[in-house]
Amino acid sequence: MCCNCTEVEAFGVQKYPDLPTKAAKLFYSTIKTHPFPNANKRFALVLTMTYLIVNDHTLTAEQGLGYRTATLIAQSDPHIVAEKPDAMVNLLADFFREHVEPREWHSTLDSN
């Protein structure tokens, strides 16, 4: 599927150098590779949210916006110039830049 899709590099330059672009590529690739007969958009959203959490960030978009974004990606046509994969990943990277924040960890041990 998309095992190392965010780690693309050429001549020492990473194609996806920061967390928003990596999350965008993961989200896009998971939806477009269509790994399951059903629930690919939901899986992509959960996978990307997990990726953000593992990297100490969280998705702050309002409820439903992630699904609507996933639907937009699923319906995009890579044969149309404005909807080519790199263009869509760039749009998604902007989305993630706007809706991703560092995660604040609250220890339950500190509450006493």
Domain extent, residue 66, equals: 21-102
Residue 15, in any domain of the structure:
no
Residue 49, in any domain of the structure:
yes
**Mean pLDDT score, 93-110:** 82
Cα distance between residue 34 and residue 81, in whole Å: 21
**Mean pLDDT score, 31-53:** 93
Would you say residue 65 has pLDDT above 60? yes
- Rounded to a whole number of angstroms, the distance between the first and last alpha carbons of the chain is 45
Q: What integer pLDDT is reported at residue 50 of this predicted model?
A: 95
Residues 6 or more apart whose CB falls under 8 angstroms from that of 54 comprise none
More confident residue, 107 or 63: 63
- Angle CA 10–101–85, to nearest 5: 40
Residue 81, in any domain of the structure:
yes
Domain total of the chain: 1
Q: What integer pLDDT is reported at residue 5 of this predicted model?
A: 73
Q: What integer pLDDT is reported at residue 68 of this predicted model?
A: 95
